[in-house]
A = this chain, B = another copy of it.
Amino acid sequence: MTGQGLHVLALAGGVGGAKLAAGLAHLLGERLTVLVNTADDFEHLGLRISPDLDTVMYTLAGIANPETGWGIAGESWTVMEQVGRLGGPTWFRLGDRDLATHAVRTERLARGDTLTAVTAGLCRTLGVRPTVLPMTDDRVRTVVHAGGDALPFQHYFVRLRCAIPVDGFSFDGAAHARFNRALDAIPGGRLVIVICPSNPYLSIDPILALPGLRAWIEKTAAKVVAVSPIVGGAAIKGPAAKIMRELGIAPSAAAVARHYRGLIDGFIIDEADAASQKEIAHHGLAVRVTQTVMRTHDDRVRLARDCLALADALAAAG
């Protein structure tokens, strides 16, 4: 199933997406392209920060901090401590080496490089073999709507720790953004598209909101497989389940499958949700039940294999 000519395009946000991407990278190396959400990007302390791109990049480089889910393992905090002493903002924690990534990115964007080119350069120096692509080189920003207010995403996510109920999200700039056309450079052959177990509303929806991307996916005729980020009614990490409840949706793997209806061909759910297999299959989806929680490197690789196996089965079924 990892034979010649196979290429995988993974759509990913942060931690969960990065883990599955690492499993896929183990199997595919350069035959993997990861299209990453950039609607969480923001400017802070003068620096351009791309949290999801960095989580994917650091995870693929094997330097991600496994405890926090963001940043680099074994970080030092000299800059941040001094920022605090100087009375500056410390609610968004930047390790010293992580900060270097943002500094280099900011410098290169300022001299006119695209985020795609900057990311490629960073990945090269970090020894990342797959192609990591920002979803767009244009500016798209998630706005969180809550009780009549409109909050920038990182203020909701990090500063307020998602502690307010949300009414919905919008993606500023998405309507006029151009999805990353480097997708067209994916080599010919069989393409499989994997929607990683990232937050459907905050990580995957911004990618899918880019004009023409759904049409591009359909045109490839690739089989599209998604992995549920909801296991046993809860999110493995992050606010997905909380957000679903606030939006009036009972959090479940089946609800995620419904969310992706019309886009995906196959859906992978956890053994904890085996009971909902029939309900999901009822939507016309091929369902695979497996162990989806990725604690170890082997977990990541096994889930990646499951994704490819489901895509294989779908291809064989025609």
Contact = CB atoms under 8 A, between A and B. Distances in A.
Interface stretch (A8-16, A44-52, A134-142, A262-270): A44-52
Interface stretch (A84-92, A238-246, A300-308): A84-92
Contacts of A103: 45-47, 79, 83, 88
Interface of A: 43-48, 76, 78-83, 85-89, 96-97, 99-104, 106-108, 110, 121-122, 125-126
Count identical subunits in the complex: 2
Given A79-B79, A97-B78, A46 B102 contact: yes
30 contacts: A43-B110, A45-B103, A45-B104, A45-B106, A46-B46, A46-B47, A46-B103, A46-B107, A76-B96, A78-B78, A78-B96, A78-B97, A78-B100, A79-B79, A79-B97, A79-B99, A79-B103, A82-B100, A82-B101, A83-B104, A85-B125, A86-B100, A86-B101, A86-B104, A86-B125, A87-B121, A87-B125, A88-B100, A88-B108, A89-B107
Central interface residue in A43, A79, A108, by most chain B CB within 10 Å? A79
Contacts of A44: 107
